Structure 1
Amino acid sequence: MSNSVHEFSARLNDGTEQDLSEYKGQVLLIVNTASKCGFTPQYDGLEALYEQYKDKGFSVLAFPCNQFGSQEPGDAGDIAEFCVTKFSIKFPLFEKVDVNGDKALPLYDYLKTEAPGVLGSKGIKWNFTKFLVGKDGKVIKRYAPATSPESIQADIEKALQG
């Protein structure tokens, strides 16, 4: 059983394997994203948080996912182009993954176990579910898709001080 997100790795959008232990000591906001979702404009808020706190030890990790309404149909190139041209994101963008089911990225199995959703449900319900992770790699809190990035700011600041 894993004890922290630092025990996982995932492939970045360009195919490079990223060991999440490289984020030790940083506060992370891990988000499953989609380009064609009603919540897609949250990319702006996520980028604003990243820009505001990146020099203080914070990062957003975006994991595109096509499991909800097929709202992330593109390939790695399409997704990267969309995120950069439409939202100018500079935070790490990972390969498209599954967050639920037998093929779920192991990181997401860990996140769902550590921070279940409403009524203890483990499954991710929709795009832009967010997990705040402390400097120690432990999950602090899970946020619903409708929770705006801006409303998480106080929790991020608290985690950065901790």
Structure 2
Amino acid sequence: MKFYDLTVTNANGEEVKMSDYEGKVVMVVNTATGCGFTPHYTPMEEMYEKYHDAGFEIIDVPCNQFAGQTPESDEEIHEFCTLKYNTQFPQMKKSDVNGENAIPLFKFLKEEKGFEGFGKGPKALAMGAMLKKIDKNYKNNPEIKWNFTKFIVNRKGEVVARFEPTVDMKKVAEFVDELMKEN
């Protein structure tokens, strides 16, 4: 299985082929409307505007698996994102990213890039402490830990990075910037 073999359903119920993104740098991210990390939409949109014409895409997959922070319908989620954050990148159907109902795209991404930690700093420590209460072994599985986990796929379809939501968006932007310079 390769990234380009996968599909995902968009918010309108249409199938989106990852092969349509061949030759592009792609960020796949699970999102939420009521999360402390929801402001990540702002730098994500900035990256999209800066690089979209040069071959950068964002695949936004809303998910309600983390503290029920996305209870809205697909239509309401889209309205929230476009009105509050002026997002222009494609939004997919609200989907599960973990468990038996996880969409194949996220199963693949997690197999390619497992969890490597939250990094350092107060947000990372707080996230680790919170998850330890839920699952003492959270560090030992590739599951998505929270909203706004970002996977970066290079122009060859290789999953080259996984950024947890605690990683500063400037680091994510710097990584994408470097990938965009590659041919």
Instruction: Tell me the TM-score range normalised by the shorter chain.
Output: over 0.9
Of 131, 151, 154 in structure 1, the residue corresponding to residue 171 of structure 2 is 151
Of 9, 19, 22 in structure 1, the residue corresponding to residue 20 of structure 2 is 22
Structure 1 distance, partners of 2:57, 2:70, is 22
Of Structure 1 and Structure 2, the greater helix share is in 2
The amino acid of 1:96's aligned partner reads K
Structure 1 distance, partners of 2:84, 2:174, is 27
Structure 2 distance, partners of 1:54, 1:120, is 35
Unmatched 5+ stretches in structure 2: 117-138
Structure 1 residue ranges (4+ consecutive) displaced by more than 6 angstroms after TM superposition = none
The residue number in structure 2 matching 1:111 is 109
Q: TM-score, normalised by structure 2?
A: 0.84
The amino acid of 1:9's aligned partner reads T
The residue number in structure 1 matching 2:44 is 46
Question: Could you list the per-position Cα deviations for residues 84-108 of structure 1 after superposition, in whole angstroms to 9, with x for gaps in the alignment?
Answer: 1111100010000100000000010
Unmatched 5+ stretches in structure 1: none
Question: Could you list the per-position Cα deviations for residues 41-86 of structure 1 after superposition, in whole angstroms to 9, with x for gaps in the alignment?
Answer: 1100100010011111101110000000000001111101001111
Structure 1 distance, partners of 2:49, 2:70, is 25
Of 74, 78, 85 in structure 2, the residue corresponding to residue 87 of structure 1 is 85
Pairing 1:66-85 to 2, within 5 Å after superposition: 66-85=64-83
Number of aligned positions between the proteins: 160
Of 124, 127, 131 in structure 1, the residue corresponding to residue 144 of structure 2 is 124
- Larger deviation: 149-158 or 127-136? 149-158
Structure 2 distance, partners of 1:96, 1:136, is 27
Using the aligned pairs only, state the percent identity. Answer: 38
Question: Could you list the per-position Cα deviations for residues 1-50 of structure 1 after superposition, in whole angstroms to 9, with x for gaps in the alignment?
Answer: x12x2111111111111111000000011100000000001100100010
The amino acid of 2:160's aligned partner reads I
Q: TM-score, normalised by structure 1?
A: 0.95
Q: CA deviation at 1:126?
A: 0.2
The answer to whether the 8 A contact 1:65-1:99 is kept is: yes
The amino acid of 1:144's aligned partner reads E
